[in-house]
């Protein structure tokens, strides 16, 4: 990278805020999706919104592409660096700026973790509803970028339903305030545009979120089923009965085994478990819980267990939330996919996935938000066995095509990122994609802000999509990737 | 002779060549016990460990996080990361607190990974002369109580001459902070009488709001009004006064003292680890700042070798008296013996016990550690005890690892396993004993309990010390934020990486202060020293005691200050 440019970066964030030693930037080459890798030319660690502003302005002036990154836990390669570009890591922007309990609002910087917001307001009896499984580490800035959900978004909605205002640095370096604090702000819904744009339209530097009062009662039930069909039927019936649970989660045998090995949540050894959580006024929860139990029994649940206390409830959730990361205990590598199907199609798609598992020989675990039909198949493979990582990608592509066939979507909450942009044309027509591109070009005409994400991009000659593998030119030792 | 020599030199040159080849390929490790790739592969890069890592919390840099360090190890094996100064610094910065192991859902065993990496670094990386000398000195002195006693003796003389180091530190307290000594005296005098103590607690709590903005005011309102010194002016005046004394030797002493004890303001911008390791004098300064208060009495204190159980005997317990513990905190050993005997244990504290090997083990000096382990096992086996009680978290965790440490030694493997199975932390043992026998007298104190990493993360002991404290009537156990994050002590870390350790110590002291405790409790001598130094930089002087000391005080019905 141009030393003059590095100098200018250092002038903004100080010498300790710019990393360009190959060893240091090596650790930034991937996020939570480690098979997509690319070393950035430099990593910048701004410590204030003003510094982010200056860095973006500098990049825009010098025409250097930049990629925002929180704590690097994304599962779609949304923070995958660009060769020769700058990675703007927001981990040092981790202050809670304002806790406004009477107005039920909290304003934080993007590097604050999701769980930290709840920690801040818990003493007052409040919490922040969206709860991605990585909530203890994922940054709220990343949540805004990916429009993260979580187990409880069935009842409470996604990040976009809880963000009420942001300060954002636009790709040209302009600092804007997009405020939805009023119930019906005039003008187009710019906030809706920014949330879920995967860091391609702006970098947010402060976020105001809504917090909710803790429900009076929360009850959690763990039901075991012999077949995935029975579990799926139970989910459909519960929701069909007009009950909106706070969460309905399903896990299959492989995922249960991994979670059990990691955090011992006390899951039964069975084919499928269903976690149903109801919250609200005690009388309502009590009454609805009986109905849920009845439905589970009718759907041939082999065991039904209700969490006796908060400790057991937390254990169940720890088991569910650790499930992805715990796959490291049963497989050397895994590839988590994120697709959505209409709830009623769950059993059908899940059986197709089981078929695929038998055909491909790769074990596939399933952990998913059953309530909204958001699947998270975990494809286990071993990258040391030649051909397995390619196979895993093929399997993932096939699963996504099942989702689209069933009238679903490519992603529920992890985003498209660099991982699934090649599948976009399967779901959207050329005109749909062109409209999205036009919006993007309007805000980022130079294409500097997180390029290569969401939209399919042409590849190098001889390059195939999927996990990193050496390009034929690299293999021949003729060129080196930065 | 010649027959033997020829192949050996050939071997050596081959090794040197292969090492060079490794370096040329950018490979950080050679074939001699590199970090195990199978263990590295367990890491799925999820990042759940990040918020638990003290260095990531300080600097927010990926390469100084557990995930980043494992990625660097992987790079070192793949030939993408050479053993450069930067590489070594990122591993030097790791505290080895193992908080990441607690946080990891994939079950990555970080401990063997970092030990193997450190072993390679010690073998293959040339540290600066100063660094080498300092590290060697630590391992030549600390594990040997007799040498340690000699090393600490000059401190006794200096402190007896009225120059206790913590007071020197306090006199240089941060700008804007006020009269720390008065505050401490107030705290201690209040603790002596129950009536005053209650009013002291009240005063501190009511002063809470004001304290956040200003200096601690304790019971200042109750005493005659203290003049509000502008600290900067006062220190300048004191200095002028001392310089005025026409003792050129003393003046020289002041200059030297200031050099060693001056505290730097904490920069707003996180100051990540520099490429250059701290210099020799920085190490010495760190030592001076952490220097414990010692007296001839503490240095020569001895606990009785055998103490009989009170009432019907429940079991025979051996007590490890520790190296630092027995010289610097002999009260902890006395308290341990008192409590265990009051709870019905015959207590044996073998005279001939030495170091348990914890320091060497945690620094990757495995051969030394094995020697210490064998001798410790032999000592306690001779004493014929049912359990071995340990009141220093670091020692306890290494003694519980003897089984693995000596697994390859056929003569000792079985014995070591059996020994490790008998080791208990003293708080764990007291809870294990079951129904309390001795009467607990009330202690009206707000206690902030800080988890020692080698207790919480390495041994998984979080509840017993809390249960033990809660069993004392009148104690209010405070909810300390980040209680299980390292305070920066981490064995010898605060000596070899003083800058990082001080940043962590300051962070910890501020968090402890936010809970307004009367007393701080932690179960490891290193943590006690580190917290004391950090507190004095913040001009706070909560007494810091081991939980067992509080229980002992409660059993005896005496005041904390009298222990």
Express each pLDDT in A22-57 by its tens digit: 999 999 999 999 889 999 999 999 999 999 999 999
State the Cα–Cα distance between residues B287 and B273, nearest whole angstrom: 19
Q: What is the pLDDT of residue B229?
A: 32
Alpha-carbon distance of B155 to B292, in angstroms, equals 9
Subunit contact B43:A21, Cβ cutoff 8 A: no
Distance of CA A438 to the CA centre of its chain: 25
Interchain CB contact of A134 with B (< 8 Å): yes
Residue A281, classified by CB atoms within 10 Å of its CB into exposed (0-12), middle (13-18) or buried (19+), is: exposed
Q: How confident is the model at residue A478 (pLDDT cuts 50, 70, 90)?
A: low
Q: Is the pLDDT of residue A302 over 90?
A: yes
Q: Which of A14, A261, A332 sits opposite B41 (nearest CB)?
A: A332
CATH 3.30.465.10 intervals, chain A = 96-213
> Which chain A residue lies closest to B87 (C-alpha atoms)?
A23
Say yes or no for a CB contact (<8 Å) between B44 and A261.
no
Q: Where are the alpha helices (DSSP H) in B363-412?
A: 366-383, 393-400, 402-405
Q: What span, in angstroms and rounded, lies between the C-alpha atoms of B97 and B114?
A: 11
Contacts of A243 (CB under 8 A, 6+ apart): A278, A288, A291, A292
Write down the architecture of domain A217-405 according to CATH. 3-Layer(aba) Sandwich (3.40)
- Top CATH class, B31-126: mainly alpha
* pLDDT per residue as tens digits for the range A169-180: 999 999 999 986
Query: Which member of A28, A263, A333 has the closest CB to residue B62?
Result: A28
What is the pLDDT, as a whole number, of residue A463?
Answer: 54
Residues of A in contact with B511 (CB under 8 A): none
For residue B481, give the chain A residue with the closest CA.
A119
Hey, what are B10's tokens? 């050939």
CA angle A240, A241, A246 (to 5 degrees): 85
Residue of B nearest to A482 (CA): B80
CA A133 to chain CA centroid, nearest Å: 9
Alpha-helical regions (H) of B125-164: 129-141, 145-160
Name residue, tokens 């013996």: B337
Q: What is the pLDDT of residue A247?
A: 92
- Closest-CA distance, B70 to chain A, in angstroms, reads 9
The hierarchical CATH code for the domain A3-89 is: 3.30.43.10
Q: Which residues of B sit within 8 Å Cβ distance of A?
A: 41-48, 50-51, 56, 59-63, 67-68, 71-72, 75, 80-82, 84, 86-87, 90, 104-108, 268-272
The residues, ordered by sequence, that sit 6+ positions from B433 with a Cβ below 8 Å of its Cβ are B314, B343, B344, B345
Residues of chain B with CATH 3.40.50: 302-432
Whether pLDDT at A310 is above 80 = yes
pLDDT in tens, A398-457: 999 999 999 999 998 899 999 999 899 989 999 999 999 999 999 999 999 999 999 987
Q: Identify the CA nearest to A450 among candidates A129, A96, A237, A141.
A: A141
In this prediction, the residues of chain B whose per-residue pLDDT falls under 50 are 1-16, 164, 166-247, 261-269, 563
Residues of B in contact with A43 (CB under 8 A): 62
pLDDT in tens, A332-382: 888 888 999 998 888 889 889 999 999 999 999 988 888 888 999 999 998
Residue of B nearest to A319 (CA): B105
Percent of chain A with pLDDT over 90: 67
Q: Which of A43, A80, A325, A332 to mutate to test the interface with B (most CBs of B within 10 A)?
A: A325
CATH level 3 topology of B302-432: Rossmann fold (3.40.50)
Considering the domain A96-213 in this protein, what is its CATH number? Answer: 3.30.465.10
d(CA B517, CA B494): 24
> What is residue B509's predicted lDDT score, i.e. its pLDDT?
95
- Does the CB of A72 have a partner CB in chain B at under 8 Å? yes
Contact flag B46-A32 (C-beta cutoff 8 Å) = yes
Predicted local distance difference test score (pLDDT) of residue A2: 87
> What confidence score (pLDDT) does residue B491 get?
87
Least CA distance to B86: which residue of chain A?
A: A23
Which pLDDT score is estimated for B540? 87
The Cα of B483 is separated from the nearest Cα of chain A by a number of Å equal to 14
ipTM score assigned to the predicted complex:
0.91
Per-residue pLDDT of A48-87, as tens digits, reads 999 999 999 999 999 999 999 999 999 999 999 999 999 9
Whether residue B107 and residue A27 make contact (CB cut-off 8 A), yes or no, is no
Per-residue confidence (pLDDT) for residue B241, from 0 to 100: 43
| Of the candidate ranges A141-155, A467-481, B55-69, the one whose mean pLDDT is the lowest | A467-481
A50 and chain B in contact, CB less than 8 A: no
Note whether A30 contacts B47, CB cutoff 8 Å.
no
pLDDT value for B228: 32
Beta-sheet pairing, B387-390 with B423-425: parallel
Confidence at residue B359, expressed as pLDDT on a 0 to 100 scale: 87
> Are the C-beta atoms of A28 and A39 separated by less than 8 Å?
yes
């Amino acid at each position: 990278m141009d030393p003059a440019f590095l100098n200018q970066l250092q002038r903004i964030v100080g010498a300790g805020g710019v990393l360009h030693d190959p060893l240091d930037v090596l650790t930034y080459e991937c996020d939570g999706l480690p098979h997509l890798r690319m070393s950035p030319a430099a990593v910048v660690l701004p410590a204030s919104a003003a510094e982010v502003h200056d860095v973006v302005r500098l990049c825009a002036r010098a025409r250097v592409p930049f990629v925002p990154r929180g704590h690097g836990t994304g599962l779609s390669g949304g923070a995958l660096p660009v060769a020769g570009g700058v990675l703007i890591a927001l981990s040092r922007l981790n202050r809670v700026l304002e806790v406004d309990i009477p107005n039920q609002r909290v304003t934080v910087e993007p590097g604050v973790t999701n769980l930290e917001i709840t920690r801040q307001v818990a003493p007052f009896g409040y919490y922040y509803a969206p709860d991605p499984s990585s909530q203890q580490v994922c940054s709220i800035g990343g949540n805004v970028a990916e429009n993260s959900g979580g187990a409880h978004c069935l009842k409470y909605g996604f990040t976009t339903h809880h963000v009420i205002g942001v300060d954002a640095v636009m790709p040209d370096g302009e600092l804007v305030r997009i405020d939805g604090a009023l119930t019906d702000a005039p003008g187009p819904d710019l906030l809706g545009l920014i949330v879920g744009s995967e860091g391609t339209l702006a970098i947010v530097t402060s976020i105001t979120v809504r917090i909710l009062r803790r429900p009076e009662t929360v009850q959690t039930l763990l039901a075991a089923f012999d077949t995935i069909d029975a579990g799926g039927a139970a989910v459909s019936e519960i929701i069909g009965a007009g009950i909106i649970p706070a969460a309905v989660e399903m896990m299959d045998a492989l995922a249960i085994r991994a979670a059990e090995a990691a955090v011992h949540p006390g899951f039964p050894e069975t084919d499928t478990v269903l976690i149903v959580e109801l919250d609200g006024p005690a009388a309502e929860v009590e009454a609805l819980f009986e109905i849920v139990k009845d439905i589970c029994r009718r759907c041939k649940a082999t065991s039904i267990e209700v969490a006796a206390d908060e400790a057991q409830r937390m254990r169940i959730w720890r088991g569910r939330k650790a499930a992805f990361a715990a796959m490291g205990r049963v497989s050397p590598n895994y590839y988590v996919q994120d697709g959505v199907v209409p709830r009623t199609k769950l059993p059908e798609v899940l059986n197709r996935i089981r078929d695929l598992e038998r055909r491909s020989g790769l074990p596939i675990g399933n952990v998913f938000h059953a309530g909204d039909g958001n699947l998270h198949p975990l494809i286990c493979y071993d990258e040391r066995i030649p051909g397995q990582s390619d196979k895993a990608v093929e399997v993932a592509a096939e699963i996504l095509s099942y989702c689209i066939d069933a009238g679903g979507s490519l992603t529920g909450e992890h985003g498209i990122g660099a991982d699934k942009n090649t599948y976009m044309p399967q779901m959207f027509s050329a005109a749909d994609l062109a409209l999205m591109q036009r919006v993007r070009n309007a805000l980022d005409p130079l294409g500097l802000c997180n390029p290569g994400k969401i939209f399919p991009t042409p590849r190098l000659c001889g390059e195939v999509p999927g996990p990193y593998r050496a390009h034929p030119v690299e293999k021949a030792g003729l060129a080196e990737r930065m | 002779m010649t027959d033997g020599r020829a192949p050996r030199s050939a071997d050596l040159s081959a090794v040197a060549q292969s090492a060079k080849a490794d370096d040329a390929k950018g490979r950080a490790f050679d074939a001699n016990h590199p970090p195990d790739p199978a263990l590295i592969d367990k890491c799925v890069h999820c990042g759940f460990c990040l918020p638990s890592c003290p260095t990531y919390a300080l600097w927010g840099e990926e390469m100084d996080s557990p995930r980043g360090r494992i990625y660097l190890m992987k790079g070192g094996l793949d030939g993408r990361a050479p053993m450069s100064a930067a590489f070594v610094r990122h591993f030097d910065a790791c505290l080895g607190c193992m908080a990441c192991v607690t946080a990891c859902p994939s079950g990555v065993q970080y401990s063997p990974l970092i030990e193997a990496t450190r072993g390679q670094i010690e073998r293959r990386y040339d540290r600066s002369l100063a660094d080498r000398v300092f590290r060697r000195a630590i391992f030549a002195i600390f594990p040997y109580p007799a040498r340690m006693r000699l090393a600490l003796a000059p401190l006794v003389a200096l402190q007896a001459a009225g120059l206790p180091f913590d007071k020197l530190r306090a006199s240089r307290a941060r700008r804007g902070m006020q009269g720390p000594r008065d505050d401490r005296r107030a705290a201690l005098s209040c603790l002596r009488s129950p009536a005053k103590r209650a009013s002291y607690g009240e005063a501190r709590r009511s002063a809470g709001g004001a304290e956040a903005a200003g200096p601690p005011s304790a019971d200042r309102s109750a005493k005659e009004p203290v003049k509000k010194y502008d600290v900067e002016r006062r220190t300048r005046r004191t200095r002028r006064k001392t310089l005025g004394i026409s003792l050129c030797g003393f003046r020289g002493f002041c200059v030297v003292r200031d050099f060693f004890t001056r505290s730097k303001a904490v920069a707003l911008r996180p100051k990540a680890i520099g490429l250059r390791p701290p210099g020799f004098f920085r190490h010495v300064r760190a030592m001076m700042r952490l220097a414990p208060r010692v007296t001839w009495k503490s240095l020569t204190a001895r606990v009785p070798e055998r103490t009989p159980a009170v009432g019907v005997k429940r079991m025979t317990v051996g007590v490890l008296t520790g190296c630092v513990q027995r010289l610097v905190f002999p009260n902890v050993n006395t308290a341990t013996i008192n409590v265990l005997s009051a709870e019905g244990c015959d207590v044996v504290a073998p005279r001939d016990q030495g170091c348990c090997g914890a320091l060497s083990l945690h620094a990757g000096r495995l051969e030394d550690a094995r020697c210490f382990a064998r001798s410790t096992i032999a000592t306690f086996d001779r004493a014929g005890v049912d359990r071995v009680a340990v009141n220093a978290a670091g020692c306890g965790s290494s003694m519980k690892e003897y089984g693995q440490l000596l697994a390859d030694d056929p003569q000792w493997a079985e014995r070591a396993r059996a020994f490790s199975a008998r080791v208990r932390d003293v708080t764990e043992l007291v809870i294990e004993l079951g129904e309390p026998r001795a009467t607990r007298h009330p202690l009206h104190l707000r206690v902030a309990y800080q988890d020692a990493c080698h207790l919480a993360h390495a041994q998984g002991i979080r509840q017993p010390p809390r249960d033990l404290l809660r069993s004392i009537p009148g104690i209010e156990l405070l909810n300390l934020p980040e209680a299980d994050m390292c305070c920066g002590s981490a064995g010898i870390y605060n000596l070899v990486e003083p800058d990082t350790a001080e940043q962590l110590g300051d962070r910890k002291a501020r968090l402890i202060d936010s809970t307004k405790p009367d007393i701080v409790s932690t179960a490891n001598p290193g943590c006690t020293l580190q917290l004391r130094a950090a507190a004095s930089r913040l001009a706070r002087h909560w007494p810091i005691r081991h939980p067992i000391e509080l229980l002992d005080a409660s059993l005896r019905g005496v005041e904390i200050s009298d222990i």
